[in-house]
Amino acid sequence: MEEAQLEKKKGDDDYKDEFYKRAVKHYTRGAELDSGDISFLIKRAKAHFWLQEYEDCVSDCDEAVERGRELRSSIGLVADALSWKGSALLELAACAADYEPAITALRLSLRLCPGNKETRAKLDEAESVKKSFEDQEAADHHQDEGQELLSQGKWEEAAAQFTEAIKMNPTDPKNFSDRAKCHIKLNVLAKGLEDADRCIELDPTFCKGYLRKGDVQLLNHNYEGAMATYLAGLKYGPQKAYIHDRLKRCVEHIIEMANDSAAKEELVKEIEYLRNELQKSMDEAEEFKEEASDERLRRSELEQMVKALGDSCTSRVEQLIIEHGRLLQEANKHNANLERQLSEYREHNANLEDQLSEYGEHNANLERQLSECRGDFERLLSIQNRIQTHFICPISQEVMHDPHIAADGHTYEAQEISHWLVEHNTSPMTNLPLEHIELTPNHTLRSAIQEWCQHQNMAP
């Protein structure tokens, strides 16, 4: 046991200094030396967690909980193991369903230690993230359904699906853009404009938001407003041919509305202005292309640097090969020292054989003491035969000290039933599901047991 505690101290020191791999080795050695101390497994699980070895962390926690139940270890240690298991499962979770095992583990931990604020915070975070995943998955489902209905021209049904998607994820501009398209097709232009504005507000660089808004303005005969909106969207999608087509339609409508030469002259000036704005947008697109070209140039320079670094690494590898040869020689010397130590250990083993002989004599003394204990045991057995059957815990088969009533109506020792409930949600007596896990002290039975113990000259 002393050697196991020494390994634990070494592991704790390495864990504190964030040398987690070394800590794992010490905790593993300690667990081998003292299999009855589940704290080694919990500490090793924590080290695995910080090494991002989450599967190993979960495995160690499960083993700690199982052993803790068998050995009737401290409830606090079992709760700690469940809490770290939950933390590791949270890191492994990739969808809403993956969060359920983590939440279950954290809830069990809190059931054993209700006042643990850190575990409570983990549980709250897990439930919140799970809810976000569920909302996003539901939103994606409604969005896919809406797209399918959109392709079939079922505008009203599609709009209903996009509305559900927005309820689940109100920050996705695409849902507002697609619902705006449905409203436009249904000639509900006010709602279409509202969705288009919301789309632009959520993502000012999303070209389709401007397209939907411009379409509403075009249908409302607000041609100048529509042109301004299309031009704004063109900055974020200069390659979009349908925006150019809509700009052309706006110009045609404006020309049709001009009735006299003065109006037409004014209109020509306005069109010239808009043409300049369009040219600006195209110039900005060209600037983006130039920036992309510069980026390609920088990438080429980076590739040359990587090649030069590769040449340098080749030289370094050659140096490492030489260093490896030197280390191999040192390893051979170290192996020779180990052989010498092995010889010394064999000598030490011979001494242990002598000590074993002495232990044989000591064992004879223990046999004599065992014989005396048998007499005491038979006396206690005669007392136990007089014990009332309802004084016995159905789980431990021992006289209860702290009897509690469970949901199945049977009475158990408090610690025994608490350990049972960590792994089960059924009755130990009937194997039927329990309606709840609340335990009620059985004061009447406890008083009866204490009175019986006094008559038997025993301490409960």
Domain that holds residue 10: 1-115
* Bridge partners for 441 per DSSP: 404
Last residue of a domain, one of 115, 149, 166: 115
Residues 175 and 204 placed together within one structural domain of the fold = yes
| Structure confidence by residue, pLDDT tens digits, 320-359 | 656 666 776 776 677 677 777 776 777 777 677 777 777 7
Residue 305 confidence class, pLDDT cut points 50, 70, 90 = low
> What is residue 137's predicted lDDT score, i.e. its pLDDT?
83
| Structure confidence by residue, pLDDT tens digits, 99-108 | 889 899 999 9
CATH number of the domain residue 142 falls in: 1.25.40.10
pTM summary value: 0.44
Does 330 reside within a domain?
Answer: no
Number of structural domains (the chain) is 3
Q: Which residue has the higher pLDDT, 27 or 310?
A: 27
Stretch 311-324: mean pLDDT, rounded?
A: 58
Residues 238 and 141 placed together within one structural domain of the fold = yes
CATH number of the domain residue 419 falls in: 3.30.40.10
Residues 232 and 149 placed together within one structural domain of the fold = yes
Does 204 reside within a domain?
Answer: yes
> What is residue 19's predicted lDDT score, i.e. its pLDDT?
92
Stretch 374-385: mean pLDDT, rounded?
A: 62
> What is residue 368's predicted lDDT score, i.e. its pLDDT?
81
392 backbone dihedrals φ, ψ, rounded to 5°: -95, 135
Does 38 reside within a domain?
Answer: yes
Does 13 reside within a domain?
Answer: yes
Residues 140 and 251 placed together within one structural domain of the fold = yes
Q: Does position 424 have pLDDT exceeding 70, yes or no?
A: yes
